[in-house]
Structure 1
Amino acid sequence: MTTERSASGGNDAAGDAPGPDLAIVGVGNPLMGDDGVGPTVVERLEDSPAGSAAGVRLMDAGTTGFLALEGMSGAERAVVVDAVQTGETPGTIHEYRCVDGNFETDIPEMTMHDVSFTEAMVAGRDVYDLPDEIRILGVEPADVSIGDELSEAVEEAADELMELLIDRIDDTNAKSTATEHTGSEGES
């Protein structure tokens, strides 16, 4: 599901309005245990007061890498939430930053279930209007077997991610509000 709030507070389809300030895209399969952390976090954001913030697009991309790119297209900034296996303790949150199509540090292979994220970004740069800065928030899974519940460790990480993302949404709204007030004062 894609939800984008316009400055007037109404819902707009992702392609029907100017790009948002912030896109938050959840990736994963909620029927495979901890692999569903991305969609779970997006769903919880949609159900929270932060989910109705202007200038924010929330999208569950499922297991499709190119759909994740579509969710980010036109946004100023993007955050992708997914399960990422590195061998660390389950529930560990990893953050990776990609600027202008290049990751600042080595990242584990993120298959995004159909094509690697880096392959999708390289192929999609010419097709999608991707943000200059994309952050990946990867949660170390404990269990990716069939099941529709997150493990305790990943559930705690999802709560932590909610707080982090709500802070980013609040920062986005503060910047948008400041810009709107500055622009309207200049027009008087």
Structure 2
Amino acid sequence: MILIVGCGNVLFGDDGFGYEVIKRLEEIKLPENVKLIDAGASGAYYLMDIVDENVEKIIIVDAIDYGLKPGEIKILSVDELPNIRKYTFDAHAVPLAPFLKDLAEKGIEVKVIGCQVKNLPIPEINPGLSEEVKKAVDKAVKIILEEIL
């Protein structure tokens, strides 16, 4: 099974990127071995609960802040994830990198598809993606389809 997990909170601007990618993928007929999950702001908790022996690959989709151009997509392998407790890709304050690295050591292929944010108004509520990140949704969908088909 392939899990595609969208992380993020639609109330906080570009943080809704993962949700928008999952929503777009739901409109496409995907292979039966692909499961889509809108994990919201609880990506790490979902992963810890649903990963079992049938999972071969996990693709995490989330907003990131790596100082790139807004809307730029960055594909990360587990080897590229930081080895610190708190970092820019964190599935919303839950240390996710160590868990993903453990899964990779167990033979599960892990990729992170991150999109550089422009508008992240936390703690102010301001739903909706910036134009740059909105355009990146289609790019991310294309990358995911290439990964799973």
TM-score range, shorter chain: 0.7 to 0.9
Residue equivalent to 1:139? 115
- In 2, the alpha carbon distance for the partners of 1:40 and 1:92 equals 16
Change (3 A) 1:42 1:48: same
From 12, 18, 37, the equivalent of 1:59 is 37
Q: What is the RMSD computed on CA atoms of the aligned residues?
A: 2.3
Q: How does 1:161-172 map to 2 (within 5 A)?
A: 161-170=140-149
Of all paired residues, the percent bearing the same amino acid is 29
Q: Which amino acid aligns with 1:143?
A: N
1:72 Cα deviation after fit: 4.4
Q: Which amino acid aligns with 1:23?
A: L
Change (3 A) 1:33 1:73: farther
| Higher relative contact order, structure no. (Cα contacts within 8 Å, ≥ 6 residues apart) | 2
1:68 Cα deviation after fit: 3.2
- The list of structure 1 runs, each at least 4 consecutive aligned residues, that deviate by more than 3 angstroms after superposition, is 68-74, 106-109, 119-122
1:69 Cα deviation after fit: 3.7
Q: How does 1:1-188 map to 2 (within 5 A)?
A: 20=1, 22-50=2-30, 53-64=31-42, 65-74=44-53, 75-98=55-78, 103=79, 105=80, 107=82, 109-121=88-100, 125=102, 132-145=108-121, 146-170=125-149
1:77 Cα deviation after fit: 0.8
Structure 2 portions without partners, runs of 5+: none
Number of residues of Structure 1 aligned to a counterpart in Structure 2:
139
1:110 Cα deviation after fit: 1.7
Q: Which amino acid aligns with 2:39?
A: A
User: Deviation string for 1:20-67 (max 9, x for gaps)?
Assistant: 1x11100110111110111111111112223xx210011011111121
SS in 1 for 2:35: strand
- In 2, the alpha carbon distance for the partners of 1:120 and 1:36 equals 23
Contact 1:59 1:71 in 2 (8 A): no
Structure 1 portions without partners, runs of 5+: 1-19, 171-188
SS in 2 for 1:47: coil
1:135 Cα deviation after fit: 0.3
TM-score, normalised with respect to structure 1: 0.66
Q: Which amino acid aligns with 2:95?
A: S
